[in-house]
A and B are shown apart, each in its own frame.
Chain A
Amino acid sequence: MTQQSAVDERTTPAEATPSRPRRGAGRSGKDLMMALPWIAPALVLIFGVVLFPAAVMFYNSTRDISQSGIDRGPAGFANYQTLLDFGPIWGVLGRTFVWVIAVVVCTVLISLALAQLLNKAFPGRQLVRMAVIIPWAASVVMTTLVVYYGLDPFYGIINEALVQLGIIDTPYGWTKNAVSAFTWSIGIAVFVSLPFTTYTLLAGLQTLPADVFEAAKMDGAGRIRTYVSIVLPQLRSALAVAILINIINVFNSLPILKVMTGSIPGYDADTVMTLIFKYIQTEHKIDVASALSVVGFLIVLVIVAIYVRVVKPMKEV
């Protein structure tokens, strides 16, 4: 798509503005000046509200900032040292990887099946497609709250249903225990990630030409064979986009764990993201929070870089 538009633009300026011939050394500067009014507002927002705070964050991670927010001078790498000395940090980092990998893998596998189903003809398909959108549009906080309520050991409706179905004997305090609360959180995260992923894969499926399937059928390829050797390779770029965006979203996800595990004392259910917010909100250590944010930021960067390197998602786009 970009290639297409790039070709268009190459010829556009000269033709589109025949009344303003521009040549010579000043031309490129002049072109930029012409463009500025159109892109400057976007630049201001990107620099002011995305890149500048990122720089502030890096800077603050090397400062000693009091709980009331006063900068008490340079701190070198003391804030990073604080993180290293913080006992649960390795557990938090490990849990972050479990969180991202578990959620993204489950999301992608279920979405592949869902997209396959929603791409097939059956009465009521439109209705099912609409239903799949709901968790996408609904606030993640609200979706999580209903599950949290349902898991209450006394009046929770999900607990009651599990008991009546005979899956458990007595209602269990899922949200009182770090491991079970974290596991349920993974489930919720998968649930709210499914719509976007499914729709992205569905978009990929719809670009498959039907005659390929007929050809495969004529060659005697079975269903699984057809899927693995024809459908999956074609889904490559859609899958790449879906996985990349999911990794970033899931790593940055805060509300699910905040609601589900926020009231559990200790750090046994924390990820990098929830720990950042504990440093900001409960401990008021903005300097250590900044250091951890920088770590988180670099983790995302590394994941994205490795991923782009290995999978080359842009190759066929």
Chain B
Amino acid sequence: MTVTAPAPATDAAQPVVHAPRRRKFTADQVGAGTVVWRMIAGLVVLVVFVAPYAIMLVSSLKSKSEILQVPPTFIPTEWHPENYITMWSTPETPLVQNLISTIIIAVFATLLVLAVSLPAAYYTARFRFPGRLVFLFLVIVTQMLQPAVLTSGLFREFQFLGISDTWVAMILINAAFNLSFAVWIMHSFFAGVPKEIDEAAQLDGAGRFAVLFRINLPLVWPGIVTAIVFTFVSCWNEFAASLVILSTAGNQPLSVALTKFVGQYATSWQYVFGVSIVAIVPVVILFMLIEKRLVGGLTAGSVK
């Protein structure tokens, strides 16, 4: 019920992100004491959620001997920012290739999801046809499934097709399992665009593609951005299927490659954390950019 399809925007040029910020604090005129308590609670939450990543950041700047030192130090005695350069040539795993793998798989899987789910979402939101409900039901079913539980089947299928241990396989898997969320969220946004707009455009002689790309897209842009970010982050962090499908070290994404550091005699933790910071910061920023829409748009996509 919390569909925040873009308010039937008459001014399509204005991104909805900057729409007047609703400060919907629940009805309370509270005393200063209550506010202070809330701030204290907020601070505790902030510290708890930031702590693991703060440890990551600080530890990534320690020397190897210091990070393995007993007892450990909280703040480095000497700072080693050059870790961020030397880490790429660590012997455990080809990190540069792993980063490239992560980027290629996530980018192409996201593009594929977009190319496949956009038309489907538009058409199912706009037109009724026999089998429409069956199609939407299939989409829900895939939302209930994850690569982890199907890995053995996926592994055999791609082995048979001869594309096991390739990026193509992982792009297809990531795209297939992220399709449902993208379809649902875009579907709900398209359904929020009044059909009169389509009709008016068609009367003016616009073809169906023109109606989709020139008329609808600008209006549902926020939904598309949300779908893109979610898909991208999910592909970026995928672990279970990559672990089994990608056996060559150079093909593996960072999520799989980093687990190789565990159980080493003397783990280069500073590199593990340096790479983690590099991999985490961009996606956290992406997520923060759509924070406003997480609250409203999310349930629209995940409810059904």
Binding site for B on A (CB under 8 A): 1-2, 4-5, 8-13, 15-17, 28-29, 31-32, 34-35, 37-39, 41-43, 45-46, 48-50, 52-57, 60, 69, 114, 117, 119-125, 127-143, 145-150, 154-157, 160-161, 191, 199-200, 202-208, 210-211, 213-214, 237-238, 241, 245, 248-249, 251-255, 258-259, 262-263, 273, 276-277, 280-281, 286, 289-290, 293, 296-297, 300, 304, 314, 316-317
Contacts and interface: CB of A to CB of B under 8 A. Distances in A.
Contacts of A202: 295
A34 B129 contact: yes
Interface string B205-246: 000000000000000000000000000010011011001100
B292 to A, nearest CB: 10
Interface of A is mostly: helix
Contact of B150 (A53, A157, A208, A245): A53
The list of the 8 closest CB pairs from A to B, nearest first, reads A57-B153, A53-B153, A5-B191, A49-B176, A121-B25, A38-B123, A122-B38, A210-B27
B155 A203 contact: no
B1 A149 contact: no
Interface in B283-304: 283-284, 286-288, 291, 294-296, 298-300, 302-304
B138 interface: yes
Contacts of A214: 27
Nearest to B39: A122
A10 B191 CA distance: 12
B101 interface: no
B273 to A, nearest CB: 7
B119 A39 contact: yes
A46 B142 contact: yes
Contact of B239 (A15, A203, A255): A255
Contact of B127 (A16, A130, A293): A16
B17 interface: no
A9 B25 contact: no
B103 interface: no
Given A45-B179, A122-B35, A146-B52, A134 B127 contact: no
B88 interface: no
Contacts of A39: 119-120, 123-124, 135
A53 B159 CA distance: 12
B138 A15 contact: no
Contacts of B112: 45
B53 A134 contact: yes
A15 B199 contact: yes
Contacts of A130: 288, 291
26 contacts: A5-B125, A8-B195, A32-B131, A34-B127, A39-B120, A41-B119, A45-B116, A46-B176, A50-B141, A54-B153, A69-B156, A124-B39, A128-B45, A131-B45, A131-B50, A133-B288, A141-B239, A207-B2, A249-B146, A252-B146, A253-B148, A255-B240, A258-B259, A280-B151, A280-B152, A280-B244
A133 B291 contact: yes
Contact of A138 (B69, B155, B199, B283): B283
B146 A131 contact: no
A266 B81 CA distance: 40
B128 A10 contact: yes
Contact of B199 (A16, A134, A203): A16
B26 A120 contact: yes
B295 A206 contact: yes
B144 interface: yes
Nearest to A42: B120
A317 B3 CA distance: 11
Interface in B249-282: 254-256, 258-259, 261-263, 267, 269, 272-273, 276, 279-280
Contacts of B291: 129-130, 133
Contacts of B177: 49-50
Nearest to B52: A146
B39 A41 contact: no
B46 interface: yes
A50 B258 CA distance: 27
A142 B279 contact: yes
B110 interface: no
Contacts of A123: 35, 39
Interface in B181-212: 183, 187-188, 191, 195, 198-199, 202
B255 A277 contact: no
Contact of B52 (A119, A128, A143): A143
Nearest to B188: A1
B71 interface: yes
Nearest to A45: B176
Contacts of A146: 52-53, 55-56, 59, 273, 276
B13 interface: no
A293 B151 contact: yes
Contact of B280 (A43, A139, A156, A280): A139
A117 B155 contact: no
B151 A9 contact: no
B149 interface: yes
Given A12-B128, A45-B116, A281-B244, A139 B24 contact: no
Contacts of A208: 26
A82 B172 CA distance: 33
A31 B131 CA distance: 10
A124 B286 CA distance: 21
B108 interface: no
